[in-house]
Amino acid sequence: GDEVTECVGGGTALAPDDLGRRYETTCDPRLNRLQSLDLAFRVAELYTAARTAP
């Protein structure tokens, strides 16, 4: 992932005030490297929870 700040949140806790640092476009919601990893782990957690639910 590119070092972008198109989306807020994630493990680095990007906030709306951080968008100006590397914000490149208003219509391209890319995730940076850490946000991509956070999303992958969250999806895995949700998938695991759904499979192990009674």
Model confidence pLDDT, tens digit, residues 15-54: 888 777 776 666 666 777 887 888 899 999 999 999 987 7
- In this prediction, residue 2 has a pLDDT band, given cuts at 50, 70 and 90, of low
18's CB contacts (< 8 A; 6+ apart) are: 5, 8
Q: What is the pTM of this model?
A: 0.56
Please say if the pLDDT value at position 3 is more than 70.
Answer: no
Alpha-carbon torsion, ordered 16, 17, 18, 23, to 10 deg? 70
